[in-house]
Amino acid sequence: MNENLFASFIAPTILGLPAAVLIILLPPLLIPTSKYLINNRLITTQQWLIKLTSKQMMTMHNTKGRTWSLMLVSLIIFIATTNLLGLLPYSFTPTTQLSMNLAMAIPLWAGAVIMGFRSKIKNALAHFLPQGTPTPLIPMLVIIETISLLIQPMALAVRLTANITAGHLLMHLIGSATLAMSTINLPSTLIIFTILILLTILEIAVALIQAYVFTLLVSLYLHDNT
Amino acid sequence: MASVVGIFSHSSVSVPVKDKKLLEVKLGELPSWILMRDFSPSGIFGAFQRGYYRYYNKYINVKKGSISGITMVLACYVLFSYSFSYKHLKHERLRKYH
């Protein structure tokens, strides 16, 4: 059982070639584009949802920050669809791989910070020292603020990985516990099955929320730096 | 492109073998049909594109597309992932001791 528990997180390969690339390319196929103004029902619902999220997210930015709107909206849609597809049985979720989340987090964070340092250097440096600190504490506080800035991309990546991986693992474990208890004791099976249903609802929520949090934090870093 | 088939069909229909769809090729012509298909990269890509648009226009691009259009794709995805992880799952068959 120990080997099987983590076997679903292995990146799938076809004869040594990474098939994970194909699985990452699946979500765009589920979001069709259209050249007409008035579309069929499915495309209209998708466009309405995307419009809702993009309006909600981009109101807090100024003009320079809104140039990032394409990037942020596609980010939240990608993470949300990838997490939700990972809830299907036997499927592989690319966001459980730390490598992919680091590849998403580091360039976005670095882009926001470097943009801030290039344009408004005084404002960017001012983040390192909160207002009203007593004078003896200043050196230590600058060091702490620097560390907290440098740890932001790692936190972004590890947060997403850990949440999704932990949720999947928990569902595996409780599912196999349900199966094992079904032959021994029926009422406890029902209790564990209820827990499984609640967990599934939680997982759906977590999938969406993690996407939201990731994107929100990136947009926050953007807001600080524009 | 479809050949007209009467009750007594024989091989003297006026459509060349290369352009027939698969369901209209007779069984004896199957090897020559396979050899004549275009297996270059652009040919394979064209085949995927035709298949995608055939599915898209039938189930999704209609005025009131229902949820079954997407559900069929997801079901195929689940089966595809199952076949991928069959090698790992072989060990989990019902036995007394794992």
Domain ranges of chain A: 7-225
Beta bridge partners of A40: none
To test the contact with chain B by mutation, choose from A14, A49, A90, A96 the residue with the greatest count of B C-beta atoms within 10 A, namely A90
Domain membership flag for residue B86: yes
Structure tokens at A145: 């603020």
ipTM of the complex: 0.78
Closest-approach residue (CA) in chain B for A14? B84
Beta bridge partners of A18: A13
* Residue A85 contacts residue A26 (beta carbons within 8 Å): yes
Number of folded domains that form chain B: 1
Instruction: Tell me the C-alpha distance between A178 and A189, whole Å.
Output: 6
Question: Looking at A88-102, A158-172, B10-24, B50-64, which range is the least confident one?
Answer: B10-24
Domain membership flag for residue B98: no
Provide the pLDDT confidence category of residue A17 given band limits of 50, 70 and 90.
low
Q: Is the pLDDT of residue A128 over 80?
A: no
Question: Nearest Cα to A219, choosing from A18, A40, A59?
Answer: A59
Residues 6 or more apart whose CB falls under 8 angstroms from that of A210 comprise A79, A83, A159, A160, A163, A164
Give pLDDT, residue A103: 92
Q: Is the pLDDT of residue A50 over 70?
A: yes
pTM score of the predicted model:
0.79
Give pLDDT, residue B96: 64
Residue B96 contacts A, CB cutoff 8 Å:
no
Cross-chain residue pair B73–A32, CB shorter than 8 Å: no
DSSP label of B59: I
Cross-chain residue pair A4–B88, CB shorter than 8 Å: yes
Average pLDDT over residues B38-50: 75
Where b means 16+ CB within 10 Å and e means fewer, A68-104 reads: beeebbebbbbbbbbbbbbbeebbbbbbbbeebbbeb
Q: Is the dihedral of CA A199, A201, A205, A210 positive or negative?
A: positive
Question: Looking at A68-82, A125-139, A145-159, B18-32, which range is the least confident one?
Answer: B18-32
Residue A7 contacts B, CB cutoff 8 Å:
yes
Domain membership flag for residue B8: no
Residue A40 contacts B, CB cutoff 8 Å:
yes
Provide the pLDDT confidence category of residue B4 given band limits of 50, 70 and 90.
very low
Domain membership flag for residue B5: no
Can you give the length of chain B in residues? Answer: 98
Provide the pLDDT confidence category of residue B95 given band limits of 50, 70 and 90.
low
Beta bridge partners of B85: none
Read off the pLDDT of residues A185-200 as tens digits, 9 standing for 90 and up. 788 878 888 888 888 8
Domain that holds residue B79: 15-90
